[in-house]
Amino acid sequence: MEKSKISDPFEKARVEKGYGNMDDQNDPVTILLRHKDVRKTAHNWKTFQSGGDEVGRIVIPSEVAIRDTRQIPFEVDPPLHKEFRNLLDGWFKRPNGEEYQAKLAAQIETLVNEVLNKDEVEVVRDFSLKLQSRALTLLLNTPFSESETWISWGTHVFRSEGESLDADKANVLYNYIDEKIIEASKNPGEDLYSVLLNSEVNGNKLTHEEVKGIMILTFAGGRDTVINALTNSIAYFAEHPKSLQAIKENPEMINNAVEELIRYFAPLTHMGRVVTEDTQVCEHAVKANTRVSLCWASANRDATVFENPNEVDFNRKMNPHVSFGFGTHNCLGATHARQIMRTLLEILANKVATIDIVDTDENIEELGEFNRKVGYNSITVKFNKY
């Protein structure tokens, strides 16, 4: 089997019944698998809630045990959700700006030059994590040097090797953010902390806790997801050098290529919702106060929507993938993530002729009856110049 392949473990269950089951810390989850059901459920925020009292419960694995701060706007439902999105959307669309893009391209070019001069590179730690952390300094508008601290935290802020939830690690992030908020309130600058401290929602200044919730989401939500997207892209191009050449020859295909890679990789497998009343999904009864999950990874391979869903096809015409979620809670960081991917593809296509895979250790998620490869714990490659 190709090493870069991300197979679809959900197909049989998706076709036969439309859902699967998993346990998570004694709080079971009904995993919704069909594109239509996933979108419908994502839309229905009244019956399938993101907010609610138990902060961290919609994440799988649940973060109830390691987090008290509500991530905003991710764990807030309408109508308040909209107020926060209105406040944040403009800031998170800055990656569309020319100056931002030039800075991002310069960062990525430096990093690609660095790895081109090495014999072997472990991509997760020495490429993707660095790229993600450095790019985050642009999104937050903080000094570049902060990225050194973030890189030292490793790929996930709540998980460590061997531990799916690591409270000590989470506290490192919480303390860091607390400190930065206090600093910004004493000495306001032009970074996201300062901007938020100066903002109002519904006529009230944001509290420390609200700013913290937005910042935790910004750090956690776009971390392993972006790292998976970047690392999987490198693995893909290692095994499909012609696709990289095609991009070099036809740079106008980059946007489609990025959407297709993101569909195929689905860097975030699924996201939960808490059911507020007894109801039904795909003719299956679900009880109030249980959890369902919207399985983006499965929806993206639904053959009723995507032709040859298990193939990466940069010329795909219709691509209504749900890798950035769907409906109310569509990904706030999507503009940034897309810009990172586009820039990476452009620079790789121009500088890298081929990539050799030396060694891989896959990251397999265990989801009850399903096991899904989401990326790599590590993958060592050699980048070859033109």
Binding mask 65-84 for ligand EMZ (x = CB under 6 A): ------x--x----------
Binding mask 267-286 for ligand EMZ (x = CB under 6 A): -x------------------
For residue 84, which amino acid is it? F
> 32 with 282: CB under 8 angstroms?
yes
Backbone angles phi, psi at 146, to 5 degrees: -60, -30
Within 48-67, the residues that bind ligand EMZ by CB under 6 A are 59, 63
Q: Is the peptide bond before 320 cis (omega within 30 degrees of 0)?
A: no
> Would you call 256 exposed, middle or buried from its count of C-beta atoms within 10 A (0-12, 13-18, 19+)?
middle
C-alpha to C-alpha distances, 236 to 226, 229, 286, 346, 355, nearest whole angstrom: 15, 10, 38, 15, 10
Provide the minimum distance between the beta carbon of 385 and ligand EMZ in the complex, in angstroms, as a whole number. 34
The dihedral over CA atoms of 201, 205, 206, 207, expressed in degrees to the nearest 10, equals -140
Token pair listed for 138: 């642009």
Nearer to ligand EMZ, 71 or 243 (CB): 71
Provide the minimum distance between the beta carbon of 218 and ligand EMZ in the complex, in angstroms, as a whole number. 9
Nearer to ligand EMZ, 18 or 61 (CB): 61
Nearer to ligand EMZ, 8 or 224 (CB): 224
Q: Does 24 bind ligand EMZ (CB under 6 A)?
A: no
Nearer to ligand EMZ, 106 or 167 (CB): 167
Q: Does 173 bind ligand EMZ (CB under 6 A)?
A: no
Provide the minimum distance between the beta carbon of 115 and ligand EMZ in the complex, in angstroms, as a whole number. 25
Provide the minimum distance between the beta carbon of 158 and ligand EMZ in the complex, in angstroms, as a whole number. 5
Report how far residue 7's alpha carbon sits from residue 366's, in angstroms, rounded to the nearest whole number. 14
Within 139-168, the residues that bind ligand EMZ by CB under 6 A are 158
The site that binds ligand EMZ (CB under 6 A) totals a number of residues, namely 10
Give the β-pairing of 29-32 and 291-295.
parallel
Nearer to ligand EMZ, 9 or 221 (CB): 221
Q: Does 375 bind ligand EMZ (CB under 6 A)?
A: no
- Helix ranges (DSSP H) in the chain: 11-16, 35-43, 80-92, 98-116, 123, 129-140, 146-152, 167-186, 192-197, 208-221, 224-239, 241-249, 254-265, 296-299, 334-351
Report how far residue 313's alpha carbon sits from residue 124's, in angstroms, rounded to the nearest whole number. 25
Provide the minimum distance between the beta carbon of 211 and ligand EMZ in the complex, in angstroms, as a whole number. 16
For 19, residues 6+ apart whose C-beta sits below 8 A from its C-beta are: 13, 30, 31, 32, 33, 37, 281, 282, 284
Residue 270: DSSP 8-state:
E
Q: Does 293 bind ligand EMZ (CB under 6 A)?
A: no
Nearer to ligand EMZ, 158 or 314 (CB): 158
Q: Minimal CB distance to ligand EMZ: which residue?
A: 221
Provide the minimum distance between the beta carbon of 212 and ligand EMZ in the complex, in angstroms, as a whole number. 13
Q: Does 367 bind ligand EMZ (CB under 6 A)?
A: no
Report how far residue 80's alpha carbon sits from residue 82's, in angstroms, rounded to the nearest whole number. 5
Binding mask 204-243 for ligand EMZ (x = CB under 6 A): -------------x--xx--x-------------------
Contact positions vs ligand EMZ (CB under 6 A): 59, 63, 71, 74, 158, 217, 220-221, 224, 268
